[in-house]
Chain A
Amino acid sequence: MQFGPHLLLAILEGLVTASILSLTAMGLSLVFGVMRVVNVAHGEAYMLGAVLAWWVTGLIAGHPAAGFVIAAIAAPLIMGALAVASDRLVLKRLNYDPDRTIVATIGLLYIAQQTTLMSFGPDARPVEPPFNQRIALPWLERTEEGWAWFYPWGLSITSYKLFVIAAAALILVAIWLIITRTRAGLLMRATQQDSETAQAFGIPVGTVYSVVFGIGAALAALGAVLVVPIQQAHYLMGGEPLLLSFIVVIIGGLGSLPGTVIAALLIGLSDGIISVFFSPTLAKIIATLLVAMVLVFRPRGLLGKAPA
């Protein structure tokens, strides 16, 4: 493949990765920003979202789009409810102590993984995409008769992958609007800035925590519903998104939403481009190196605020 079309393909693949990653990382960042809880079980919310999507689409007969739409609503809702329950049952009882919540979420990780293994089983299971047309992409090249369009071999994307990119962008805009423009967002921001003062002003901090933990898990589940027609639901699929989400959140700045999006694009695109031109292993090495550099030279992340 020539360099130009090759690069375009790499960028498109990278954008798909970045879209999913920005949703899952946003969930992790929101939970940390508001609750100061490092949620190690976040990848399992992603995995459960994919498994729930497989389960819901299996229940609904007819066109795959019907099952997909219902899964896209039901899976995040169910996952959010599960997260709210685990917040009430576990995290609240630990008074959100940073060390103990890490240990508790590790426990949640294993419970989620083993329960899935025992019920859903160890196989990878596919979900049919609602639509999936291959779109060949043209490329401009200089020929003897001047510039001309042609279709390079292999340069293509599917309509579903384009939909994933667009859907993720829309969801991110919606989250930003909710946080900056609504009363619920105001309560979240107040709790994030100073939870004790917020409580003194009558904000139900406990409820805000539960809701934020639920939204965080629902975002991961939503990312998984989007990705599961491309990949397949599998009980071990939560590991990589967790690692990448942490990398994104550390680079972007813990708790900073714009920082998270910028870092997700950075990591997703560099992962796409480096793994196309060099190797996927090198892409992981560079991402990890970037984290180390950020931690050494800018510990609060690209857009994180310095501790007061």
Chain B
Amino acid sequence: MKKSIKYKDIFSSYLFVLPAIILFLVFSLYPIFKVVELSFFEWDGISKFTKFVGFKNFIDVLFSNKIWWKSVLNAFYITLIALTIQNGVALFLAFCCDKDIRGAKAYRVIFYLPPVLSGIVVGLIWNWIYDGSYGFLNHMLTVLGLGQYSRAWLADPKTALMAVALIHIWKGFGWGFIILLAGLQGISRDYYESAKIDGASSFQIFKNITIPLMIPIFFLVSILTILGTMQIYDLIISTTQGGPGYHTEVPITRILTTMTGTSRFGYACAMSLVFGAILLILSIFQLKVSKKIER
């Protein structure tokens, strides 16, 4: 009798979690295992025929796929710019707003507007601004007498990657700003007051109070920036599609092209596992650095 009540209880508890667990097993867990499995095969995605090739896909991705590594380097480049310029701008603006400045609330609302838009929308709007013949940027350059510098920003191999990175900054800095500002405002004003009474200069206060207290937040922002930017794709798809040549290819667009363009599903899986490993190494590296500095 008691036992049957217990089983009934377990059964009814499982009814609560069952929908979530079923969805999770089918759409999260199974795909993960399938990616690992497929990465050892050659498969075009349609035919019943699959060929086991061992580590061949991985070896090819790692050692002889130059375009792949170019795409990884491109993502690194955009990430580096996001880490330095985007987060630098975000931090600077957060400092500006931290001093109970007039209109701080309005600035917060405005700066977070680009981050709520999709990468597709942002990319298409900037496509138009960067347009080679009729874009606003070239128009402004001409008005300012700098017409000789005008170009098709997204189609010129020299500027394409930088132009994309700038769009990414425009879209992303507001997010860093919000988080950094929250961190700054979390620092108790008493610290500042007592430091001032002790005669500390504003630079000393900045160096000895603000920076040390903000370090955990800096690391949070930078790890999220790294993971987010390395996996950038919709901004690329809506602006350059990886071109000109392979100048703005990033890992996700490479994986997509390998999968839907050339139908090499196994190879695409190997690529994504290599990319996952790169992300994991980056995260661990970042974690180690942050622990060292916090000490």
The reply to whether chain A is a binding partner of chain B is no
